[in-house]
Amino acid sequence: MQVSAKAKVGISELWDTVNEYRQALEPCGELDSRRRQQRVRWLWTYVGSDLERRLRTHPDIAACTAELESAVIEESITPGHACDRLMERFFTRN
């Protein structure tokens, strides 16, 4: 199916296909299930973003971040171990 909003080609056919797909998913509850899963993914995306922001702006963490990033680049510490150290430092001080 070729669709181009600019050339005004295939738009109605696309919407017909989208509506058919939706009508197939709704009766069996699949659409609702996917929406619930999506909301949970969004929750953890927000948690991850907020936690990263707090880690990057926390004075104690910012002080050791550059050192740990360098160690990860030099492969003297794994990214997972560096993460563990950042989390431990953050959560033992808060």
Each of the 94 residues of the chain gets a pLDDT tens digit; together they read 899 989 989 999 999 999 999 998 889 998 899 999 999 999 999 999 999 999 999 998 988 999 999 999 999 999 999 999 999 999 997 6
Give the three-state DSSP class for 7. Answer: coil
**Residues 3 and 37 both lie in one domain:** yes
- 82 domain-assigned: yes
Burial class for 72, CB neighbours closer than 10 Å (0-12, 13-18, 19+): middle
Residue 69 is part of which domain span?
58-94
Largest Cα separation within the chain, whole Å, is 59
pLDDT computed for residue 94 by the predictor: 64
- Note whether 10 and 2 are within 8 A (CB): yes
**Residues 41 and 66 both lie in one domain:** no
Q: 35 Cβ partners below 8 Å, 6+ apart?
A: none
DSSP letter, residue 1: -
pLDDT computed for residue 62 by the predictor: 87
- 53 domain-assigned: no
What is the Rg, in whole angstroms, of the alpha carbon atoms belonging to the chain?
23
Return the half-sphere exposure (C-beta side, CA atoms, 13 A cut-off) of residue 83.
Answer: 6
